[in-house]
Amino acid sequence: MKIDVRSRGLDAADALREHTLRRIRSHLHRFHDRLTAVEVRLGDVNGPRGGVDKQCRITVRGPGLGAATLDELHGDPFAAIDVAVRRIAYAVSRTLDRRRTARPR
């Protein structure tokens, strides 16, 4: 599973990258054989105006899974990462469970 993390317009880019990698590895490790790539894009949507504008976009790809993308906005970039990773892990789990139960035995 290849993990690509990029940030734009955010302070503490190195800390955000490490936090993101830790969260991805801890929540998606059980799918490592099913996912080929995980792309994470972090950004500041409103720039210096502030507000709830820290975006975390996660795209996961895998055979039989296709591509799934999830966006999360939050005032704190670390919180945006945490919520987005939990949500994408749940989405991947549900998709794989549906595929497993839909197959005839």
Assign residue 29 the CATH number of its domain. 3.30.160.100
Looking at the structure of the chain, the number of domains it has is: 1
The predicted structure's pLDDT at residue 105: 58
**30, two tokens:** 């059980």
Q: How are beta strands 2-8 and 37-44 bridged, if at all? A: parallel
The predicted structure's pLDDT at residue 11: 80
Residue-wise pLDDT for 34-90, tens only, equals: 999 999 999 988 776 766 789 999 999 999 788 999 999 998 999 999 999 999 999
Note down the domain range covering 59.
2-102
Q: Which residue has the tokens 């005839």?
A: 104
Specify the pTM. 0.87
